[in-house]
Amino acid sequence: MSVDVRLVRDLVATIDDREPLVVVIGDCILDRWTVGTAERVSREAPAPVVRVTESIAVPGGAANTAVNARALGARVRIVGLIGDDDAGTVLRERLATAGVDTSFLVEVAGARTTTKSRVVGGDRMVVRVDDLAGTPTADHDERLARAVARAVRCADAAVVCDYGLGVRAEDVVPVLDRDRPGTIVVDAHDLARWAALRPDLVTPNAGEAAALLGRDLGTGADRVPAVVAARADLLARTGARAVVVTLDRDGTVLLDRDSDEGFRTRAIPASEQQTSGAGDTFCAAATVALAVRAPLHDAVSVAQVAADVVVREAGTSVCSAAALLVSVTAPAVTVVDHDELADAVDRARRAGRRVVFTNGCFDVVHTGHTTYLRQARDLGDLLVVALNDDDSVRRLKGPERPFNPAEDRAGVLAALACVDLVTVFATDTPIPLIERLRPEVYVKGGDYSPEMLRETAVVRAYGGEVVMVDYVPEHSTTAVVRRIREAAAAAAEAQSAATAVEARPAATAADPDGAADAGTEVIPR
């Protein structure tokens, strides 16, 4: 997703200037992570043996939301139930160290603090053990309600984090109704419980939205139209002014009462990590932005950026204001999915820019490639390179190819100054992508002719231009690989000959040909 750098800079500056007061109310959790290597299986049971290299304990749940809000520049008070056990002590210390006001935490004598302990061996979580707090009593609920009443005085925003671990809507809603902060955000497993609060924003994930609707939303990007179609139901059942449904790798969809269309954000795909709490970060960032009166669309866009930051970190992580700024001021992401590419092409075309499109395997990038890509870039204003995925390369080039996976090939192309955008496609030809983008110019190397390409008819049918650029002889990937193999074979042959010469016995006066029996043993006198 592309977010205006000025938007993020201005928002961070506004938060720093105003220091809004955010109250986090909810289920406090201590996340423990035990990390190590797992190189063998136990003889006692079919389970990996993890050799521990690191153990950490960090705030989780509502406590994670609180430390994220503080890291983004807000003043933060947290209200929740904790035990007087060791986990409660550690959690309070971690929160205080992060700058969160813990004076409104309600400590329950003899109670456990909810703890989630994860053991990670190598790159895989081996087990998660949840030690849950007991059910609060009426006295605990009353103490919590009084703490909420004290904490929300003069607050700019309140966020409720309800994971079904003890915080009850019937205790909190009346208090927030009496002294309502400027913004109320709810992140809850069961949002229907909080409908009476009439939140300004609720943040269900796809599973929570499906449970609220009582129907499946599908999978992957198919969830987006399903969420938009459910707009009226989601708003009615949550009682909220706006709903943003988080869809993990597919970003989010924001629905509000002023528009029938959803506002979409797109996540930046990240490699699989042992991550936890990206939803807490998203909720915290959106709340802090709304606390300084940012428009709803801007708040959600910045929250997506914050979530993108933490999913690249292992464990339960925090996005600071500094990390947020770095993420948007770093060089633009060049490798994009098809939806992002379509948006970028549309923006370029509206700005009067000429779009040039080419495609290929680009398995081993060489002079032939770079020459033709520079020539292609000169034909327009925006050069898009579509890259065959690994399966389609195997179908086209044989089982030994590609030599480099799609992620590496895309990274190399993205580093070229002449390339503006790179995307990966799975079909044998890029025709479906060409039909969607309708580039003004379609380019291929001069080792082809227009008549050889199935794409030619498609491009010419909508009025596009097909251009063949110069071919650089002996610089195809096949030729480069052939030369590498020939050089390797020659080096191996030379090494073999040298080894044979070294193995030959040296000549002596007694044996001038150096041909003594290799099995003869000389015994000194």
Which residues participate in catalysis according to the annotation? 280
DSSP, res 194: G
Tokens of 256: 């509000």
DSSP string, 448-514: S-GGG-THHHHHHHTT-EEEEEPP-TT-SHHHHHHHHHHHHHHHHHHHHHHHHHHHSPPP-SS-TTS
Q: In whole angstroms, how large is the CA radius of gyration of the chain?
A: 31
| Under 8 Å between Cβ of 86 and 111 | no
- Give the burial string for 498-512 (b: 16+ CB within 10 Å, else e): eeeeeeeeeeeeeee
* CB-CB contact of 387 with 423 (8 Å): yes
The two beta strands, 157-162 and 183-188, are parallel
Strands 263-265 and 252-256: antiparallel
Distance set, CA 466 to CA 252, 359, 433, 442 (Å): 37, 13, 16, 5
SS3 assignment, position 268? coil
Cα dist from 251 to 57, 164, 287, 436, whole Å: 29, 25, 18, 21
What CA–CA distances, in Å, run from 297 to 290, 293, 350, 512?
A: 10, 11, 22, 92
With a CB cutoff of 8 Å and minimum separation 6, the contacts of 113 are 28, 29, 30, 82, 83, 85, 87, 88, 91, 133
Q: What span, in angstroms and rounded, lies between the C-alpha atoms of 318 and 69?
A: 9
DSSP per-residue codes, 143-164: HHHHHHHHHTTT-SEEEEEE-S
